[in-house]
A and B are shown apart, each in its own frame.
Chain A
C-alpha cells in the first residue's frame, strides 16, 4: 500500500477523531482510495473470559464491551441464559426490562449523535447530546443504582422494582427531550452546514446494506424496515405499539434522522410500558422461593432482590441456545453452549459494531478525507464493541 503518488495516512489509535482503533487510509490527493480498519486495539477476549466465569459473573462482563448501551447487552445475555434454564420471568419484570432497554437505547443514540456532531465539528451538538444523555442515565440509575453498567437483569427477572418517583421523573424527562428536539432541529438537523456535510455522503444503498449485513439504524436508514423487536419480539415488545423508523436515502443524514426518530419512538414505548405495566413479582417464582426468609422481608419492603444462593451455582442443562435483541447500535446476538457445568462451555457474543465493520470498510473509499469522520460518526461505530 505504499505505491508512488498515494499517501498512506495512519489515523489512530492516538488521534482525536479515531476512537480506540487504528485505521489506515490511502489517499489520492484528498480522495480516499483504500481504507483498512485495523480492529483489535481494545480486544478484551470477552468470549474466552466468559468460559472461565460463572453464569452470574458473566452479566457484568458482557456489559462492558458495549458500555454506552449496556442495558441491551445485558438483556441479550439474560435471554440466552433463561432459554437454557427454561425460566420465564414474570410479566412485570418483562416490562421493566423493556423500559431499561429503551432508556439504554436513547442514551446510546444520544451518544452516537454527540460523537457524529463533534466529528463534523459541531461542539454544541456534542455537548448537548452528552448533557441530555445524562438525564436518561439518571433514570437508569434510579432503576438500577448504577450509572453505566446496570447489571439490572438477572436470570428470572430484574434486580429492583420501579422506584416510586420514577414515573414523575420520566414524565419530566420525556417533556424535556421533546422540547429539546426543537433545539436540536435548529442547531444540528436543519443547520445548513450539517446538511452540506451529511446529505449525499456515505450513501448506503438498500441492496448493499443487505449484502454487507448492516444492522440497526444504519440498515433502517437504507430503507429496510428490519427490527428484531418486531421480527422476533422479546421482553414486553409484543404488547407495545410502536413504529420502526425507516428512511430511504441511506446517507449519513438519514442515519442521523433515524436516530432522532428512534429516540422519540423510544419515549413513546416507555410511556406505554409505564401505562401497561402489571403489578406483581419481579423475579420468577422458581427463584423467589429460594430467597431466605429473613431476606424476603427486605425484598418486600424495598423492592430490591437479595440474590438467593442458587445464583452462585446456576447449572443449566446441556444444550445450546441463541438469542438476539435490537440494541441501540443494532442487533446483538448471543450464542450460548452449556455442558451442564456452572460455567458456559462456549459463549459467542456478536456485537452490532462488529457486524457494521464491513459496511464501514466498504463505505469509505471514494470519499474525501473530510467525509471520513462524518461516515465514521454516522455509523455509530463503537470500537470497544466491535473488538470485544
Chain B
C-alpha cells in the first residue's frame, strides 16, 4: 500500500514537474501569468497614481498599499451577472473571448525556461511562437462581430487594421534576431547570446522596433486605439459583462506578458546569466527570464501615465512608414553583421 502511494506520489510529482505540464500550467504559464496580471495591473495603477498625485488602489488590504485590489475586482467580476444581449450571436459571443484568452496563452508554451526545460523544443520554435501570436487579432474580430454593436464593430475594425500593420514589423524584427544568431530555435538563440552577448547590443534597431511593436500590438498607450474609451467606449468588449468582460480586460496583459517573454529571449539574453543557486534545477533560471520580461511589461504599462493616444491613421502611418522601414533596415543590419563575421 505504502509503495503504491509512494509510487503515485513520485510519478505525480514527476508529471507535474515535467516541462510539458509545468510550463503551460505553472511557470511561465497560467499561474505565473495570473500572478503577474495581479501585480502588473496594481503596479500600473500605482505608478499612474504616483505621477498623477493621488493614492491609487488603497482600501483593499491597506498594509500592502492595495495590492489585493485586483483580486477583489476579479471576485466581483466572477459574481456579477453575465448579461447576454438578445441581439448577439450567442455561441460566438460566449466562446470567442474564452478561446481568445486561451490562444493568447499559447505562445508561452514554446518559450523555453532554460536550456534543459522546454515544453516544446522545436527547430522552428521562434516561428511557432510568432504564428501563435497572430491568432489574437482574428479572434478579437470575432468578439467584436458577435457583439452586434457599432462601437464593438469599430473597435474590431481598428484592431484589424492595426494587426495588419504591426505583424509585418514584428515578424521582420524577430527574423533579424534569427538571422543574427543563425537559428530559429529559441534555446539556441539564448545559447548564442550567452557566448556572444545580448541581442540588444548587436542589433539595437531590431530591439527598438520589437519593443514598439509590443506596445503597439497590446493596446498600450499611445497606441490604445482599439479600445479608446472616449471614442468607442471599450472597443470590442463594449457589450460584455461579468467574468467575460474580466477576461477581455486581462487578455491584452497576457499578450503583453507572452511578447515580453519572447523579447527577453530574443534580445535580453533569456535566462542568462545562470549563477549559483539558479543552476540547481532547470526551472530556476526561468526566474531571470521572468524578471527581464517583467521589466518590459512594467515599462509598457508605465507609458499610460505619459502619453495620450494616437489617432488610427497616425498609428498606421507610423507602422507602415517608420516601423516597417526600420524593421527592414534591422534585417539588413543583421545580414551586415553576419557578413562581417564571415569575412573576418
A residues neighboring B (CB under 8 Å): 7, 9, 15-17, 30, 117-125, 127-128, 131, 187, 191, 193-194, 196-197, 368-373
Contact = CB atoms under 8 A, between A and B. Distances in A.
Nearest to A132: B53
A370 B231 contact: yes
Contact of B229 (A17, A117, A124, A371): A17
Contacts, number: 81
Nearest to B305: A124
B149 to A, nearest CB: 11
Interface in B306-342: 306-314
A131 B154 CA distance: 33
B153 to A, nearest CB: 8
Given A127-B52, A131-B52, A191 B229 contact: no
Given A17-B230, A17-B231, A119-B230, 9 more contacts: A16-B230, A120-B230, A124-B48, A187-B306, A193-B308, A197-B314, A370-B311, A372-B231, A373-B231
A225 to B, nearest CB: 30
Given A369-B231, A372-B231, A373-B230, A121 B308 contact: yes
Contacts of A15: 233
Contacts of A197: 308-311, 314
- Rank and list the top 6 A-B pairs by shortest CB-CB distance, nearest first: A17-B230, A127-B52, A121-B309, A122-B308, A121-B308, A370-B311
Contacts of B230: 16-17, 118-121, 373
Interface string B208-247: 0000000000000110110011111100000000000000
Nearest to B51: A124
Contacts of B311: 196-197, 368, 370-371
Contacts of B192: none
B281 interface: no
Contacts of A125: 308
B75 to A, nearest CB: 24
Nearest to A8: B150
B304 interface: yes
A368 B229 CA distance: 16
7 contacts: A7-B150, A121-B221, A121-B229, A191-B307, A193-B308, A370-B225, A370-B231
Nearest to B313: A368
A16 B233 contact: yes
Contacts of B225: 370
A193 B310 contact: yes
B191 to A, nearest CB: 40
A216 to B, nearest CB: 22
B306 A124 contact: yes
Nearest to A188: B308
A30 B313 contact: yes
A100 to B, nearest CB: 26
A131 B54 contact: yes
